[in-house]
Amino acid sequence: MIKNKHTLQASFRAAWWLKNQHLQTLYPVIFPFNKKIVLKRETIILADGDFIEVDWTANKSDDKPLILLLHGLEGSSKSSYIKRTMYEVFKNGFRAVCMNFRGCSGRQNKSKRAYHAGETEDLNFYINYLLQNEKIKSPIFIVGFSLGGNVLLKWLSENSNNIFISGAIAISVPFELEILANKMNRGFSKFYQWWLLKSLKNNLLKNDRYKDFNLSKEEIILVKTFWEFDDKITARIHGFLNAIDYYKKSSSRQYLSQIAHKTLIIHSKDDPFMSELCIPQDNELSKTTQLELTEQGGHVGFISGNYPFIPMYWLEKRIINFCFNLI
């Protein structure tokens, strides 16, 4: 039983038929959420003239508590975990909006820059946009998944004086990007690396902007690891010296002690995207941050249930419960 000052054992118990870390991770992808949810899209023009697109639940105009969702690497509002969460949020009387990172909404962006694990400017812009243009007076919560969770934790550390955010939840966060890059290049985790890199490279090749950074089509196609992609592409596009510089400056673990908002972090020890070495220690967490660890759950999985192929999604209920307790 884990019970330190800020670190607890979560109540989650994996389904007996999904005990394996990869089954927990892949089941929601192979059998995606299929309940219908109506979303309303909005285009937000950013300070540099580029745009992001956000998707609201149908009750956008209501004056109900709002949950802002941040997806993971190459995700979007169409990702199964986002759709499940938005459905649960709507069902429980909240509003939800998913901020699609640049290039993730299905439309190609105008600028050379994209998004990455440490990029918090677009999130900060959108939060200020919500406060100024939507004039939201109800509680605002932010939930980040995987890469989105890393972005969220870094943003929280940079905006400790923001009084408009009632709470935050970060799930399956890559606290140490270098550890993640190494883990994803070993064993079955290479499959996840291949799948995500395939999407990253395809999106990059859809337009000619990569040529502005002296990148060739052949050079992009030949990239086989996250290390290569982040060294040759992410770092070059976003002004980092190299992959190490990007990982060092963007990893959220170093920022956890600076978080002032009520924050819940949910993480599984068997996450196939990273090793247990990246899990922060109790003394690294701020006094307002709680880390809930599970023995099983995979990466953004956390599926329970007694009957095969009748999953019980624990994560979405935990998110709602956390938000309800802060209202």
Quick: pLDDT tens for 161-181.
999 999 999 999 999 999 999
Residue 306 makes CB contacts below 8 A (sequence gap 6+) with 15, 16
The pLDDT score that the predictor gives to residue 3 is: 53
The pLDDT score that the predictor gives to residue 151 is: 98
9 has pLDDT over 90? no
Mean pLDDT of the chain: 95
**Catalytic position from the list 268, 271, 286, 304:** 271
List, in sequence order, every residue forming a beta bridge with 321; answer none if it has no partner: none
User: What is the reported pTM?
Assistant: 0.96
List, in sequence order, every residue forming a beta bridge with 56; answer none if it has no partner: 40, 97
4 has pLDDT over 80? no
307 has pLDDT over 80? yes
Q: How many CA atoms lie within 13 A of 285 on its CB side?
A: 20
215 has pLDDT over 90? no
DSSP state of 3: B
Active-site residue flag, 146: yes
Q: What distance in Å separates the CA atoms of residue 158 and residue 6, rounded to the nearest whole number?
A: 21
Active-site residue flag, 299: yes
At 2, the pLDDT band (50, 70, 90 cuts) reads low
Residue 213 makes CB contacts below 8 A (sequence gap 6+) with 112, 233, 236, 237
The H or E element spanning position 174 is none
Give the mean model confidence (pLDDT) for residues 247-272.
Answer: 98
Both tokens assigned to 311: 């999953």
Residues of the chain with pLDDT > 90: what percent?
Answer: 87
The pLDDT score that the predictor gives to residue 113 is: 86
**Catalytic position from the list 77, 80, 146, 189:** 146
The pLDDT score that the predictor gives to residue 210 is: 80
The pLDDT score that the predictor gives to residue 1 is: 47
DSSP annotation string for 247-289: HHHH-GGGGGGG--S-EEEEEETT-TTS-GGGSPPGGGS-TTE
Active-site residue flag, 76: no
31 CA to centre of own chain: 20
C-alpha distance across the termini of the chain, in Å: 29
250 CA to centre of own chain: 14
Higher per-residue confidence, 204 vs 158: 158
265 has pLDDT over 60? yes
Residues of the chain with pLDDT > 70: what percent?
Answer: 99
List, in sequence order, every residue forming a beta bridge with 44; answer none if it has no partner: 52
Using a 10 angstrom Cβ sphere, with 0-12 exposed, 13-18 middle and 19 or more buried, the burial of residue 225 is middle
